Chain A
C-alpha cells in the first residue's frame, strides 16, 4: 500500500431552490429591513472608469420558457482588463469597480438586467489576449450545480476570432451561443439550458 492521500472532498452542490431570493436578494424578495441593500445590486459609481453598458439576460428551459426564479452572478475585469481580486498580480484594478454583480430574473418576465462597463482584455495562460468577456454563473430551482459560462460581445469580432476559449469549441455552430447582440448600449443574451441552441457551459 502506498501512503494515503489526505485531501478533503469538495462539499457537494445542491440546488438553490425556488426561494433563493430570501438569502441572496432579500429586498427584491420582499424581506425588507434586514440588509440595507441587496448585495451586488449596484456595480457602478460616478467615478467608475469605462464605457457604460447594459446587459439584458434571460435563461430559457428546454421548452424555450424563460425561468422566472433564476439568479445570475457576473464577474468581470475593469476597463483596463484588471480584476479587483487578491489574485490579480499584474496591476491595480479600478478601485471604483468591484467587478461583481448579482441580479434575479424578473418574477413575471424572466428578464435579468445589469448596468456595468465593458471589460478590457485579459491574458490567457500563455500570454495571448482573451477577447473581452464577462463570466456568468447561473443558479435556480432544478439546477443541481451552478452553471458557468461567458458572455462575449458581438462588436468584438476580431478579438472573438482569436479568443483561446472560443477556439476550443469543436462545433463552430455553437460559438454564437456565447455572443451577446448589441443594440445601442444594450447587449442581449439568452442562456439556453438545453435543446438545439443550448449554451456552451464550462467545466473549468
Chain B
C-alpha cells in the first residue's frame, strides 16, 4: 500500500537513526513524581531495526470527518462555538533529514480555555465548556504540512508538588511511516512563564530541546479579526539511506 497516494516516490525501507536518549527526557525524573514508580530501572535492550520496527500502519485521508481539525466546532451545538482565544496551529512534520513526512496521522487533545479537561477523572473546579470536547486529528499533506483550529488551552493545577501548574499546552500524538517513529509530545506557547517551572517540561534536560516544543506566535498567519496563529513543527526520526547495506531480500 503506498504511503504517498498519488506519488511516484519509491517507498523508503531503511532503518532509522538511533534515538538520542539524552535529548529526550529520561524515564526517571523524580520531580515529576509519578515517574518514580513507572520508570524502568534496567537498561534498554539495543538492536538495529528489524522489519517489525521499520514498517508501520497506513492511515488515509478518507478516515477524517469534516470537522476533525476544527476543535472550535467539532463538539459544539449547531450555530454555537467554543469559548476562548481562537487560534490556528499549523506546521510541518519533518524527519531528521529535513524531509517532509507525508500522510502522517496527527492526533491532538487539550483542556478548554479555563484549563478543564472533559474527562471524568479531572476534578478541577473550573467549568466545562458545553461546546468544547478537546480532541482533533488530521493527516499531513504531500509536503508534511498540517493545520487545525482550536481555542488556546488554559493552565491548570495538578497534584504533584503543593502548587504545581501545567503551562498551557496541547498534547500531540504522531504516526509517521514506521512503528519506530511513534511519538507523543506536548506543544507549549511562546512566552509562557510557567514553561520553565514545570516538572514535566524540566524532565527534558537540554534547554535547546525544550525550545523545540514551544510554538511561535506567527502574526503573518493569523486571520485578521478572527484567529491568531502559532507555528509548531514536529521532527520524527530520520531513515538511514540504504546505501552499501548488503542484506538479503526480506528486510
Contacts and interface: CB of A to CB of B under 8 A. Distances in A.
Contacts, number: 289
A4 interface: no
Contacts of A62: 36-38
Contact of A23 (B26, B27, B135): B135
Main secondary structure of the interface of A (DSSP, over half): loop
Contact of A15 (B1, B135, B200): B200
A20 B109 contact: yes
Interface in A140-173: 140-148, 150, 165, 168-169
Nearest to A13: B24
Contacts of A168: 45, 47
A130 B50 contact: yes
Contacts of B34: 141-142
Contact of B44 (A14, A127, A201): A201
B59 to A, nearest CB: 8
A121 B126 CA distance: 52
B73 to A, nearest CB: 10
A41 B118 CA distance: 21
B40 A17 contact: no
Interface residues of B, number: 98
Main secondary structure of the interface of B (DSSP, over half): loop
Nearest to A81: B51
B161 interface: no
B183 A11 contact: yes
A171 B174 CA distance: 34
A85 B175 CA distance: 13
Nearest to A88: B55
Interface in B167-196: 171, 173-174, 177-180, 182-186
A13 B185 contact: yes
Contacts of A147: 40
A86 B11 contact: yes
Contact of B182 (A22, A39, A146, A195): A146
A176 interface: no
Interface of B: 1-4, 11-13, 17-21, 23-27, 29, 32, 34-42, 44-58, 63, 65, 67-68, 74-75, 94-98, 107-110, 117-122, 133-135, 137, 171, 173-174, 177-180, 182-186, 200-201, 203-204, 209-210, 212-213, 234-238, 247-251
5 smallest beta-carbon distances between A and B, as pairs: A23-B109, A142-B34, A142-B38, A85-B55, A100-B57
